[in-house]
Amino acid sequence: MSRTRSSSSVSPLRVHARPARFPGNLIIEVTVNSKTFYIETFGCQMNAHDSEKVVGTLLTQGYTQVETPAAAELVLYNTCSIRDKAEQKVFHRLQQFKRDAGKGKIFGVLGCVAQQEGERIFEKAPHVSLVAGSASYTRLPEMLVQLEAGNGRVTGLSLDTDETFDTPFTRRDNPHRAYITIIEGCDKSCAYCVVPFTRGPERSRTSESVLAEARRLAESGYSEIQLLGQNVNSYRDPSATGWDFAQLLARVGEIPGIRRVRFTTSHPRDFVKEIIDAIDANPVLCNHVHLPVQSGSSSVLKAMERLYTRDEYMRRIEWMKQARRPIAITTDIIVGFPGETEKDFADTLNLLDQVEYDSLFSFKYSPRPNTAALAMDDHIPEEEKTRRIMIVQEKQRAIQIRKNSVLVGAVEEVLVEGRNQALGQWIGRTSQNRTLNFQHPETSESLLGTYLPVRVTRAGPNSLVGESLAVN
Ligand code: SAM
Ligand code: SF4
């Protein structure tokens, strides 16, 4: 690093705030001669968890995290390239700080855009010195040494590694919920998706290593585990036990101290009934399944190469509707895929009515490099995609108002995740992954991370409001 050090440079007390969910929770660190870094994360939970691994590694290498790019010597962007907009955002950020390069500031691009664009990033943004994809984070210490030695073109772009899971230095953002990656990469070839190119082929982690990490987390006070993968359902234990995902899920749910287990994302083609049976058998496994459908039209699903028809998808929905526990179902929808007709779009709308999702993410199709859909005919104009997404969102809002209002009067157990000081409310999450904001006379942070019964008193489209029963 080019930072100058003087013999008396004991740096001042650094005080920085935790994420907004935990307002008031200040960390006070005394740092001596520390190098500083700033990291901004874009995209999904996989990226958020990757950033936790990067932060952990940097801290063990003697770096201190700071809250603004201006205060940092090393500025990192952990990027997402799932849609064009997400990719543009990072180049915009890099432009903002272009003039600071060479003044002791080093810039690095990590994650999916790094993997997708590779060394082209050095041409597009010459002030960038580090370009590394997620499969290379175990090599970070070595890459930092090169950066510190003044190398202006450091790369970590190989996808050919099984070492992505061993991250001894993860610095977790949330003190109660921890992510565990169980499978990396993706072997599907959805016609619109860059993930197989940015995260490489599927690699499952041994069940022994997953369970050992979950036990360690439980012992250090985490009560919620979220199992992560682009397609957790195709998990297959590479060791002799050969467990599938349902078996692994059931075992994680048996670990003493773990009160909640979530998982994401599921691919409908690989989603088996045993997963529902496991959820039915153990209330520790949250009664929420995110099952992205993408489209309600079998012909669009075929063009997307999703490997299931609408009827096959609906069979999985039926399993969930017939479960003993009420399972919340959420999904992803893409509107305006090339060739999507009015009839196809109407099929998506009537699928929403049929399933009545508890929540959904909707996206306008975004053409991505290397993907099969790029070469397809009949790309849908942007205004039409906008019209369709607005119709989807309006319909879903009405469904959510209806579904949430049914919960008024019910008692839900919440994990207390934060406090909204302005409203004087605690922020809780139910097993079904609903946000439930509630009143409780306690105002100190001692409530954070506890589990409380809360009666629902009001319902909106995106959250519930209630009162804690623990004080009655
Ligand atoms: N692996 C997950 C699956 O199979 O559903 C999803 C991964 S992706 C990070 C999350 C969502 O982004 C997808 O479910 C899809 O709805 C959306 N998405 C992916 N590529 C897209 C594209 N090119 N345009 C618009 N949305 C896209
Ligand atoms: Fe992308 Fe399809 Fe793989 Fe999901 S399953 S990551 S949408 S290729």
pTM of the model: 0.90
Ligand 1, atom 11: closest residue by C-alpha:
332
Cis peptide before 371 (omega within 30 of 0): no
What letter would DSSP give residue 446? G
How far CA 325 is from CA of 5, 71, 377, 441, in Å, comes to: 61, 50, 44, 31
Token pair of 403, please?
């579904």
Which residues' Cβ are closer than 6 Å to ligand 1? 44, 82-83, 192-193, 195, 230-231, 265, 267, 292, 294, 332, 334, 363, 365-366, 368
Return the CA Rg of the chain: 23
> Could you tell me which of 163, 162, 91 has the C-alpha nearest to residue 123?
91
**What is the torsional sign of CA 332, 83, 389, 226?**
positive
Ligand 2: centre distance to CA 176 (Å): 29
Query: What pLDDT score was predicted for residue 8?
Result: 29
CA 196 to ligand 2: nearest atom = 8
Q: Which atom of ligand 2 is nearest to the CA of 199?
A: 6
* Residue 193 Cα to ligand 1 middle (Å): 6
Q: What is the pLDDT of residue 143?
A: 95
Contact 321, 356 (CB under 8 A): no
CA 226, CA 42: separation in Å to the nearest integer? Answer: 19
Contact at 8 Å (CB) between 357 and 399?
Answer: yes
How many angstroms is it from 8 CA to the middle of ligand 2?
A: 53
For 463, the 3-state DSSP assignment is: coil
Report the C-alpha gap between 23 and 49 in whole angstroms: 21
Give how far the C-alpha of residue 309 lies from the chain's centroid of Cα atoms, to the nearest Å: 27
Please tell me the distance between residue 43's alpha carbon and the centre of ligand 2 in angstroms.
14
Cα–Cα distance measured from residue 211 to residue 133, given in angstroms and rounded to the nearest whole number:
26
- d(CA 188, ligand 2 centre) in Å: 6
Pocket test for ligand 1, best of 307, 332, 380, 388 (most atoms within 8 A of CB): 332
In this prediction, residue 165 carries a pLDDT of 58
> Ligand 2 atom 1: the closest Cα is on which residue?
193
CB of 121 closer than 6 angstroms to any ligand 2 atom: no
pLDDT for the residue 81: 92
Query: What totals of helices (H) and strands (E) does the chain contain, helices first?
Result: 13, 21
**Ligand 2 pocket, mutate which of 193, 331, 337, 366 (most atoms under 8 A from CB):** 193
Is 387's C-beta closer than 6 angstroms to any atom of ligand 2? Answer: no
Tell me the CA–centroid distance for residue 406 and ligand 1, in Å: 30
Residue closest via CA to ligand 2's atom 4 equals 230
> How many angstroms does the Cα of residue 374 sit away from the middle of ligand 1?
15
Q: Which of 112, 188, 313 gets mutated to test ligand 2 (max ligand atoms within 8 A of its CB)? A: 188
- In this structure, the strands spanning 74-79 and 177-181 are unpaired
- Which residues make Cβ contacts (< 8 Å) with residue 404, sequence separation at least 6? 434, 459, 460, 461, 463, 464
Predicted confidence pLDDT, tens digits, the chain (472 residues): 333 323 222 232 333 333 333 333 333 333 344 799 999 999 999 999 999 999 999 999 999 999 999 899 999 999 999 999 888 989 998 888 777 766 778 999 999 999 999 999 999 999 999 999 998 988 999 999 999 999 999 999 988 766 555 566 788 888 899 999 999 999 999 999 999 999 999 999 999 999 999 999 999 999 999 999 999 999 999 999 999 999 999 999 999 999 999 999 999 999 999 999 999 999 999 999 999 999 999 999 999 999 999 999 999 999 999 999 999 999 999 999 999 999 999 999 999 999 999 999 999 999 999 999 999 999 999 999 999 999 999 999 999 999 999 999 999 999 999 999 889 999 999 999 999 999 999 988 999 999 999 999 999 999 999 999 976 4
CA distance 307 to 290: 17
DSSP secondary structure string for all residues of 279-322: HHH-TTB-SEEE---B-S-HHHHHHTT-S--HHHHHHHHHHHHT
The per-residue pLDDT for 174 is: 86
Among all ligands shown, which has an atom nearest to the Cα of 202? 2
| Residue 194 CA, closest ligand 2 atom number | 1
